[in-house]
Amino acid sequence: MTKTYKILIPIILLAFFLRVWRLPETPPGLWYDEAYYSMDAAWLLDGGPWEIFFVGNNGREPMFIYLQSLFIWLFGAAPLTSRLIAPLAGTLTIPLMFVLARRLTRRLDRSTLIAYVATIGLAASFWHVGLSRGGYRGILLPLVAVFVFYAFWRAWQGQSLKFMILAGLALGISQYTYLAARALPLTFAVFALTWTALTLLRRQSLKPQSQVPNPQSQTPNSQFSILHSQLSILWLTLTIMALLSAIVFAPLGWIFYNNPSLFSARTGDVFFTPDTLSELLSHLSQAVRLFIDNGDPNWRHHLPGRPMLGWLGWLGFWPGLILCLRRWRQPAPMFLLVALLTLYLPALLSVPPVHALRLATLLPIYYIIFAIGLVWLVAWLVNYALRTTYYASQRRAIIIPLLIVLLLLETTLTTYDYFVRWANAEETYVEYNTPLVDFIEHVADLTRESPVILPFQIYVHPTTRYLLHDQFTEQLAPDTLSGPVKLVTLPDNFRMLNVANIPELPAYVWLARTPDGQGVVYVSRPPRLAEQAYLRQAIQTVEPESYLDRFGRSLADFRTLPDPTPLLPMFTDTTPQRVTDINWADQAQLIGYEVIPDVAQP
């Protein structure tokens, strides 16, 4: 085993540990979006169409959902299986990060050390650890970005046709992962134009001249030839990448061509349009502070109040940025600067400016710049502190231990902030729909003793549907249903569901067990006047049993109805009063409806 692997393997193991330790309970619950992806994956396995683009929930690219379906097929529908992709993708990013960082910094002093620091920085990043433990598509962005960048660099600098092909295929595949991947082609386009402009300016001053070549140095002729060759290979690489990525992207592109609204729907929702100058300046300030002290305000993505890029991130990033700016005419620094700018655009153009998912592609570039700056800063401080000749032999021996101490400190802070502060916060508990998850698991167990009637807005929530997917099946209700049955009402709809746009629909769901223990679900029609009167009377007269969440907050009330006979027609007589047949792009079909109340109320 080489020295490189002896150092890299422990880093990979550290990354894996941070991404799987306590994974079943951290993050808690199962958030709406995670469950929505999971239900799409489960429906694929149930025989649903394998969509190239999933239009529900604001539109989603399919790669993550396809991968989820594999794990659900292997291990069943559960919150843990929905999240298994994330730690695997996050851990796989770590070794790729090392080879990319070493390749991009190979012309710098201590390039291997810089690569190690960049890799550890990403491995211990609170941002990346969080992405690597949830069921979000954004975790695929750093992985595909690192691979595309590495393949491109090998293709261009190594003049490798194999890597040109790999880079093009990977760039095309990246468009099937997450919306923010659309910035990747822009990165290559801006870099190519910038490098071309710089090369043309250089060539003007290095026109071929008739002279005897000097083997000890590069003549203007040889420099001219090198620049010409580099530029030709660059455009050949990008041409092959563009053609192959276009072929891979074509099925998805065809959908966008025929349905332009699908391409722009989500971007339109989050696009930043300031009304005043102060609003613009405030937005830009928050965006820039990403590199200082700002973070994603969403508890599902981050720990509010914690710098998004770590407590010590600024220590390396700003010196690294200055070093790259000073060397911007060199290929690697220019590429890092261009990538930083183009992948940072979502912060400038969207709301909120700091968003863990939309900016995830930025992570590899940031940590390479961070590593360049941190290694330089530590080396400069050590050399300055031990600048006398007497300490000259000790300088190198101090640089690496000091870097290790700083990185261990950042890793410790990440571990504490994530597994103690963030994981145990009530806001995290609520934001991840944990109250709903705990409640539905309780209801599923309760149905072994008695049927339960749920309000439809609880059942229609993706988290509920996914949790019940393997245990309960929807069926037509039999002619008779017996009691007693427990009726559920919600004192606080938002505390339970944590989603404001789910209406309180006038329908109910009957959950029960067959004699062999299989769960069945009967969905009602809306209650009519007599049934509404019975429900109101039951809610007013029957003593409720309160269900409390982990923090002692009231989530739901159970009322035992000894004789549910007045409610049975809701489940057995489901023929709609008005029949129709309306189809929405084969996504939903309306076969009937009722107007409640029949007469407008004063």
* Number of Cα atoms under 13 Å in the Cβ half of residue 181: 28
Mean of pLDDT values over 499-506: 64
Q: Say if residue 330 is in the same domain as residue 384.
A: yes
Q: Say if residue 66 is in the same domain as residue 101.
A: no
- Please indicate, yes or no, if residue 372 is contained in any of the structural domains: yes
Number of Cβ atoms within 10 Å of the Cβ of 224: 18
The domain of 475 spans: 433-593
Cβ atoms of 481 and 451 within 8 Å: the answer is: yes
Q: Say if residue 541 is in the same domain as residue 529.
A: yes
Q: Say if residue 525 is in the same domain as residue 437.
A: yes
Given 427, 456, 479, the domain boundary residue is 427
DSSP single-letter state for residue 214: -
Is the pLDDT score of 519 beyond 80?
yes
The pLDDT of residue 495 is 85
Q: What are the C-alpha distances in Å from 239 to residues 152, 170, 172, 331?
A: 12, 14, 13, 19
pLDDT tens for each residue of 329-360: 999 999 999 999 999 999 999 999 999 999 99
The pLDDT of residue 414 is 98
pLDDT tens for each residue of 229-271: 889 999 999 999 999 999 999 999 999 999 998 998 778 778 8
- What is the rounded distance in angstroms from the CA atom of residue 387 to the CA atom of residue 327? 26
Given 427, 445, 472, the domain boundary residue is 427
Measured over the CA atoms of residue 10, residue 11, residue 14 and residue 15, the dihedral's sign is negative
Q: What are the C-alpha distances in Å from 513 to residues 43, 175, 291, 463, 522?
A: 23, 44, 54, 20, 11
CA 282 to chain centre: 26
- Please indicate, yes or no, if residue 459 is contained in any of the structural domains: yes
Alpha carbon distance, N-terminus to C-terminus of the chain: 82
Is the pLDDT score of 197 beyond 60?
yes
User: Between 111-123 and 363-385, two packed helices, what is the crossing angle to 10 degrees?
Assistant: 120
The pLDDT of residue 58 is 86
The pLDDT of residue 224 is 63
Cβ atoms of 265 and 274 within 8 Å: the answer is: no
pLDDT tens for each residue of 560-588: 999 999 999 999 988 887 889 999 877 78
The pLDDT of residue 388 is 60
Is the pLDDT score of 391 beyond 70?
no
Q: Say if residue 377 is in the same domain as residue 470.
A: no
Question: Residue 206 — pLDDT band, cuts 50, 70, 90?
Answer: low
Given 374, 392, 427, the domain boundary residue is 427
Q: Say if residue 551 is in the same domain as residue 421.
A: no
Label residue 366 exposed, middle or buried (CB < 10 Å: 0-12, 13-18, 19+).
buried
Which residues pair with residue 557 across a beta bridge? Answer: 489, 546
pLDDT tens for each residue of 286-321: 999 999 999 999 999 999 999 999 999 999 999 999
- Please indicate, yes or no, if residue 38 is contained in any of the structural domains: yes
- Please indicate, yes or no, if residue 602 is contained in any of the structural domains: no
Q: Say if residue 423 is in the same domain as residue 562.
A: no
Q: What are the C-alpha distances in Å from 163 to residues 57, 153, 156, 168, 192?
A: 36, 8, 9, 8, 17
Share of the chain above pLDDT 70, in %: 93
Q: pLDDT: is 384 or 389 the higher one?
A: 384
pTM of the model: 0.93
Q: Say if residue 339 is in the same domain as residue 201.
A: yes
Q: Say if residue 389 is in the same domain as residue 517.
A: no
Structure tokens at 36: 């929505």
Is the pLDDT score of 472 beyond 70?
yes
Nearest to 82 by CA among 471, 472, 550, 469: 469
Q: What are the C-alpha distances in Å from 381 to residues 116, 282, 403?
A: 20, 35, 12
- What is the rounded distance in angstroms from the CA atom of residue 232 to the CA atom of residue 240? 12
Q: pLDDT: is 396 or 407 the higher one?
A: 407
Q: Say if residue 416 is in the same domain as residue 541.
A: no
The pLDDT of residue 575 is 82
Q: Say if residue 238 is in the same domain as residue 379.
A: yes
Structure tokens at 300: 């599902």
What does the mean pLDDT of the chain come to?
92
Question: Residue 214 — pLDDT band, cuts 50, 70, 90?
Answer: low
- What is the rounded distance in angstroms from the CA atom of residue 400 to the CA atom of residue 380? 13
Number of Cβ atoms within 10 Å of the Cβ of 582: 9
